[in-house]
Structure 1
Amino acid sequence: MEDSGILIVMFFLILLSGLFSGSESALLSLEDATLRTMKEKKVRGIETLELLKSNPKRLIITILLGNNIVNILLPVLATVWGTTTFGDGEIVIGLVTGGLTFILLLFGEILPKNFAIINNQKFALMVAPFLYFLSKALFPFIWIFEKISDKVTPDAENLGISEAEVLAMVAMSEEHGEITAKEKIRIKNLLDFADTRVSDVMTPRTKINSISNNSTLLEVKNIFKETPHSRIPVYEESIDKIIKIITLRDIWSASEECGENKLVKNLELRSPYFVPITKNISDLFEDFQRQQIHLAIVLDEHGGTAGLITMEDIFEEIFGEIRDETDIEEQEETESVKDGVWKVSPRMTLEEIEEETGICLYANDEEKEEHSEKNLSFFILEKLGRFPRKGEIIEFEFADIIIEKIEGHAVELFRIVKKL
């Protein structure tokens, strides 16, 4: 073969190398959602593209096989051309090899891959017919490599999307305005559902409304009037020994039959359902459904009462606070007092506060990643390393947080004052 003929073949092979490299970038960066959109728009050539994407393992083998054939032929031809033109010698071979490496890196890898990623749809549609033809032409070789690959690596169909990938997609969707911050939180909560323990969701024992089994029906009625709950635990001697669960229906039925002076301990009531503090809420949710109950008593490692959890608590962990007709007296999560001043519920997360007030409480992106899902009460407790005091001011870069109201050790209300 003449020198000019070798150069023409080499030029053609460099183009093919760029084509294969670009094909790999374009086709692998083309998401299934984009492919569906193209199909809905009836883009020309989408059928061939779908055939290629339907078998990613075969597609990769086709591209790599073609690219390696090209990259093996190129050095051979370049060496023949160099020795024929300039004579045999180590210097000539070294210069030819170095020059070819530079050309392949630039025109066979960097430029085509960058171009293909930016124009992945057009590039994928352009190369699809060629790759489909090549997959048929090289089928015997592709089949051999495919069988070897099947033995060594798992089927691509069995590979799921990781939680980290889902969270990354959710974050991107929020940045582009496709979902709201609250929707992002709900998706995050769903992903965390199986790992969340009842201790993270339960009402702690200090906030449980409970009654003694020596109480009368009249006393219990008065307690029900002061609480929004429809079920209350009944204890014997102390709250660490809960023996029954009483409901509003139980009260009214017993009052009509026995009068309001009857003692609770003489009633036939439902026994409580006990769960350990380490139980996952996903497992508890299944228990609630299977046993058709709505409330469980959470026990600590010593068998004492640690808290109480309801079906509503589990729903709220995913969807946020659920309000019904009994909640109309409750304070709103945020209340604007005046410009730059808000009253804020301790239940609000830092991300929700930023969305409602525009105030960022994070010092940097690392803090945002770590604390954005935490509620304000826990964040302040963690920051101080102790229980806050009423009237105490915690300073941040863009705002001051004032402890407005405290009940026991629990903060009931915060005031946020924006710094000017």
Structure 2
Amino acid sequence: MITYLLLTLFLIICSAFLSCNETVFTKASRIKIMQWINDKESGHEKAGFLLTHPQEVITTLLLLSSFVNIALSTLVTSFMIELFSLNNIGSIAVAASLSVIISSLFIIVIGEIVPKTIGYYFADKLFFVFISSLYFMTYISRPFVFLFTSLSKTFLFPFGIKNIKGLPSITESELRYLVNVSEEEGVIEKEEKEMISGVFEFKDKVVREIMVPRIDMVCIKKGTTLSDTLEIIRNEGHSRYPVYDKDIDNIVGILYVKDILMNLGPSTDYSKTIDSSLREAYFVPEGKNISELFRELQAKRLYMAIVVDEFGGTAGLLTVEDLVEEIVGEIRDEYDFDEEALVKDFNENSFIANGRLSLREFAAKVDFDFEDFIDGYNEETLAGLLFALFGKIPKEGEKIIFKGIEFKILKVDGRRIKEVLVTKEKGDVDEVRQ
């Protein structure tokens, strides 16, 4: 009887220990561990081995945990059957049923929930406590790990999974945390932090979020004379222009200003059209990921893409400069002096926003999580959100409160919201005020 109890207690402790180790290893900060390794603290070689063999560590812990839990269930079952047999309490079936219930409670509560919760909250501290035991268990279990990993790969192969990947050495959240701390401690400047954050956000954005919308596109009609085209170039200051036939939904090419300028001379006929100077346009859907588009434009050595909507109409355009600005911030050249600022400070609690400001940028400006802020809305810009909230084209002076933020329409140009006064208010009530 005592032997059974001692063995059961030992196996429960082993199960809890292994579960805690598993959570600690997966949750512990890779940044702190690598700093510890770089400082060559005691045990740094073992820590280095564990970080470079994450799949072996996890597989070892899962195997040992499975063996221990099976042994625990078997032991409890044997104990209950013997107890029932000696005392003529009931049938073997009843004993087996009770053993399943008891062993399950032990394994789930004491062997899983409690130790994993402890490991989750104290992962960084416990990693350095468990490092020797983790290393020892992983090292002596390597033959068994190799055997079971090989068997696993055999069963996974039909599903197209050829490699079992381990844990990332550093997660994105850890890198973001490191960037924030570095800025707070003065290691990097605010602009550098924004640039690094832009890299993280770059892979999550789609074309429609950053494109120049159709209404802001400067296009040239097919058949326009060279003289008229040069006048447009002087007034607008762009280096490339989409060219359309009949209407803007039918883009037939891209005009590069340098192609025209290189052919100008004393004998140039300014009455001829630009049609022979067009280059092929590159079209992309508005839902395309911008990181994929950036790679495509690089590979094709293109500078501009025409964005089309789901119906095939022209939704806007996007340039390499627009893509780069998502990382490095606004790039202003000699032609940008009169460009409207998307955000202008007003006072301590207010600022003036352009309707073209993207909701992702707006959410960051007002310290909101983007997904929480849009809350089911599909609009991409501040103007789009305000149209949806008002349910109409608002007039100058009208106000609305959304997510505890007051929006006052300052300037409307036709059907376009040009300027909005944004003021942070208390509360989170949504209402429309005239």
Deviation track 1:256-307 (CA, whole Å, cap 9, x = no partner) reads 4246x71241785233424265683556545533443323445678876554
Q: 1:147 to 1:403 in 2, by over 3 A?
A: same
Letter in 2 for 1:157: I
**Aligned positions of 1:135-214 closer than 5 A:** 144-153=147-156, 154=161, 157-158=164-165, 169=173, 173=177, 184=197, 186-192=199-205, 196-197=206-207, 201-212=210-221
**Aligned positions of 1:216-255 closer than 5 A:** 217-235=226-244, 239=248, 245-250=254-259, 252-253=261-262
**Aligned positions of 1:8-157 closer than 5 A:** 8-30=6-28, 32-52=30-50, 54=53, 55-56=56-57, 58-68=59-69, 70-72=71-73, 74-75=75-76, 78-79=79-80, 87=87, 89-90=89-90, 107-130=110-133, 133=136, 144-153=147-156, 154=161, 157=164
Q: How big is the shift at 1:346? A: 1.9
Query: Which consecutive unaligned segments of at least 5 residues does structure 1 have?
Result: none
Check the 8 A contact 1:350/1:375 in 2, yes or no: yes
Check the 8 A contact 1:78/1:100 in 2, yes or no: no
The secondary structure found in structure 2 opposite 1:325 is: coil
Q: How big is the shift at 1:51? A: 4.0
The secondary structure found in structure 2 opposite 1:59 is: helix
CA RMSD, Structure 1 to Structure 2 (Å): 4.7
Do structure 1's residue 377 and structure 2's residue 418 form an aligned pair? no
Check the 8 A contact 2:60/2:141 in 1, yes or no: no
User: TM-score, normalised to structure 2's length?
Assistant: 0.70
Check the 8 A contact 1:351/1:372 in 2, yes or no: no
Letter in 2 for 1:16: C
Letter in 2 for 1:187: F
Query: Which consecutive unaligned segments of at least 5 residues does structure 2 have?
Result: 184-192, 427-434
Aligned equivalents of 1:236, 1:96: Cα separation in 2: 81
Partner of 2:402: 396
Q: How big is the shift at 1:71? A: 0.9
Q: 1:110 to 1:254 in 2, by over 3 A?
A: closer
2:352 to 343, 351, 354: 343
User: TM-score, normalised to structure 1's length?
Assistant: 0.72
- The share of aligned pairs that are identical, in percent, is 23
Aligned equivalents of 1:330, 1:249: Cα separation in 2: 23
Q: 1:396 to 1:182 in 2, by over 3 A?
A: farther
Deviation track 1:375-410 (CA, whole Å, cap 9, x = no partner) reads 212211232344444444334364432333333422
Q: 1:76 to 1:46 in 2, by over 3 A?
A: farther
Q: How big is the shift at 1:330? A: 2.2
Letter in 1 for 2:331: I
1:312 to 302, 321, 330: 321
